[in-house]
């Protein structure tokens, strides 16, 4: 572990470490996750270990780590890649996979938060060797997101937003009745209740929850089968169509022994699964990682019915404080999840970086690339 800089109080240091080094002290990693401001689970030991076991991350994956008197205070995995915003040269970004939907660093909820973030930003500069950071899926409306950008400002970084969208979330109300009363799309919720009643007339409609053991294994297996039977299976993008992705799902939802909780919600009609949702719980937030449904029942909107049932369960059982839809822009959940969290892609240059091209022009390149990819996706979908 190579120390880059000591904190102003002399009690903290920032370093660049590998996955193998972190995995050698699992308790320290879990302890940081347990006291983190971060509400997503993606950089927890459990999730990164599932990536590693499935071959989606290797033992040399590197992290910026801030070490304090109580152990780890901050952690961010990162990687370099060639990118249009770097004019074809390498830029740096947080570790991403098809299953990571948020990229805030793990940062301890600590009275010395500003010092921790200042050291983290120093580590980010060292990790990049002065290169540009292209940072997608950063929630800037949270305390942590705002303070991270403020720490970059204090260090003389230049940064700007290349893309922004509002992700649907649910903040738990005092009761489910209060949730419905405050809902901005009451007609949508009324329509879902009507669909629920219609389905109930065909048989016994039930919501099952699995959190561990054989019931969770069965739920994950059922998810893989149901997803593969639908359009994702035909397109070859279902988890079960790709060995690494299937291995990741099976490893991720094996029983966890750390601060990340596991949950599967299954909407059944006479015992037959109509829709299954897989979620991870961390920091009081349930991240709804994947949902699938029986496409032969599409007219009943079983996926949305399940999401509505999860919201009701959130209020009745208080299994979390909030739900994170983990979606991208334009999600069908925008009419069901009434609250919002601002998710941004930023381009950031450390002091002295980005001399060949200003940050605002690099942002333009990133935006052009995004628009081109969206256009190609629309054309392919029509075919």
Residue 292 falls inside a structural domain: yes
Identify the pLDDT of residue 361: 86
For residue 327, tell me if it sits in a domain: no
Do 308 and 346 share a domain, yes or no? no
Same domain, 125 and 34: yes
Residue predicted with more confidence, 361 or 106: 106
Q: Which residue has the higher pLDDT, 318 or 9?
A: 318
In a domain, 326, yes or no: no
End-to-end CA distance of the chain: 52
One domain for residues 205 and 246: yes
pLDDT at 10 (0 to 100): 63
Q: Which residue has the tokens 């109580």?
A: 70
Judge whether residue 23 has pLDDT over 90.
yes
**What pLDDT, on a 0 to 100 scale, did the predictor assign at position 362?**
86
pLDDT of residue 355: 63
Range 335-363 average pLDDT: 88
Q: Which residue has the tokens 């929630």?
A: 139
pLDDT of residue 4: 46
Estimate to the nearest angstrom the gap between the alpha carbon of 162 and the chain centroid: 19
Q: Which has the higher per-residue pLDDT, 3 or 302?
A: 302
Full residue range of the structural domain in which residue 198 is found? 173-320
The answer on pLDDT for 50 being more than 70 is: yes
pLDDT confidence bin for 2, thresholds 50/70/90: very low
48 plus 136 within the same structural domain: yes
Q: Which residues pair with 170 in a beta bridge?
A: 323
pLDDT of amino acid 9: 52
In a domain, 282, yes or no: yes
pLDDT tens per residue across span 177-204: 999 999 999 999 999 999 999 999 999 9
* 3-class secondary structure, 276: strand
pLDDT (mean) for 122-142: 94
CATH of the domain at 88: 3.40.630.30
Where do runs of H (alpha helix) occur along the chain? 19-23, 26-34, 45-53, 113-128, 143-154, 176-182, 186-200, 213-228, 231-235, 243-252, 302-317, 359-382
Q: Is residue 143 part of a domain?
A: yes
The tens digit of pLDDT for each residue in 241-287 reads 999 999 999 999 997 778 999 999 999 999 999 999 999 999 999 99
pLDDT value of residue 381: 67
pLDDT of res. 351:
87
**Domains: count for the chain:** 2
The reported pLDDT for the residue numbered 158 is: 93
Q: Of residues 148 and 256, which shows the higher confidence score?
A: 148
Residue 223 lies in a domain: yes
**Token digits of residue 70:** 């109580």
Residue 300's CATH number: 3.40.630
Mean confidence (pLDDT) of the chain: 93
Provide the pLDDT confidence category of residue 123 given band limits of 50, 70 and 90: very high
Tokens of 34: 């347990």
Q: Is 206 left (phi over 0), alpha (psi -120 to 50) or beta?
A: beta
**Domain co-membership, 293 together with 374:** no
Angle at 188 between CA 182 and CA 191, to 5 degrees: 125
Look at residues 87, 147, 145, 82 and name the one whose alpha carbon lies nearest to residue 358. Answer: 87
Kindly report the backbone phi and psi dihedral angles of residue 141, in degrees, each rounded to the nearest multiple of 5, phi listed first.
Answer: -85, -5
What's the sign of the alpha-carbon dihedral 21, 23, 24, 25?
A: positive
- Residues with Cβ within 8 Å of residue 249, at least 6 apart in sequence: 220, 223, 224, 239, 278, 290
The DSSP 8-state label assigned to residue 256 in this structure reads: P
Q: Would you place residue 376 in the very low, low, confident or very high pLDDT band (cuts 50, 70, 90)? A: confident
Is 210 a member of any domain? yes
Q: Are residues 98 and 188 in the same domain?
A: no
Above 80 in pLDDT, residue 6? Answer: no
% of the chain surpassing 70 pLDDT: 95
> Is the model more confident about 324 or about 375?
324
SS3 246: helix
| Same-domain status, 180 and 69 | no
Label residue 5 by pLDDT band (50, 70, 90): low
Token reading at 15: 């370093």
Stretch 216-238: mean pLDDT: 96
């Amino acid at each position: 572990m190579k120390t880059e800089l000591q904190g102003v109080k002399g009690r903290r240091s920032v370093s660049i470490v590998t996955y193998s080094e972190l995995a050698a002290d699992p308790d320290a990693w879990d302890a940081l996750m347990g006291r983190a401001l971060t509400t997503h689970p993606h950089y927890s030991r459990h999730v990164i270990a599932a990536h590693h076991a499935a071959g989606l991350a290797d033992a040399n994956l590197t992290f910026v780590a801030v070490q304090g008197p109580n152990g780890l205070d901050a952690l961010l995995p990162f990687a370099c890649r060639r990118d249009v915003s770097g004019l074809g040269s390498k830029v740096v970004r947080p570790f991403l996979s098809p299953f990571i939907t948020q990229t805030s660093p793990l940062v301890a909820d600590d009275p010395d938060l500003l010092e921790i973030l200042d050291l983290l930003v120093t580590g980010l500069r060292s990790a990049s060797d002065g290169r540009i950071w292209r940072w997608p899926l950063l929630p800037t409306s949270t305390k942590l997101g705002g303070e991270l950008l403020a720490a970059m400002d204090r260090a003389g970084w230049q940064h700007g937003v290349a893309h922004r969208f509002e992700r649907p979330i649910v903040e738990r109300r005092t009761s489910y009745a209060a949730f419905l009363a405050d809902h901005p799309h009451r007609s949508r919720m009324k329509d879902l209740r009507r669909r629920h009643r219609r389905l109930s007339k065909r048989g016994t409609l039930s919501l099952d929850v699995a959190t561990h053991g054989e019931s969770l294994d069965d739920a994950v297996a059922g998810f893989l089968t149901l997803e593969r039977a639908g359009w994702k299976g035909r397109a070859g993008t279902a988890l079960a169509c790709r060995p690494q992705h299937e291995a990741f799902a099976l490893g991720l939802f094996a029983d966890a022994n750390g601060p990340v909780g596991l949950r599967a919600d299954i909407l059944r009609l006479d015992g037959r699964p109509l829709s299954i949702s897989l979620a991870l719980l961390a920091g009081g937030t349930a991240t709804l990682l994947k949902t699938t449904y029986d496409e032969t029942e599409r007219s009943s909107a079983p996926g949305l019915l399940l999401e509505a049932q999860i919201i009701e369960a959130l209020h009745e059982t208080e299994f979390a404080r909030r739900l994170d839809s983990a979606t991208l822009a334009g999600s069908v959940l925008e009419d069901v999840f009434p609250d919002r969290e601002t998710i941004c892609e930023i381009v950031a240059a450390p002091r002295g970086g980005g001399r060949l091209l200003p940050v605002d022009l690099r942002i333009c390149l990133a935006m052009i690339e995004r628009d081109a990819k969206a256009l190609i996706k629309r054309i392919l979908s029509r075919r």
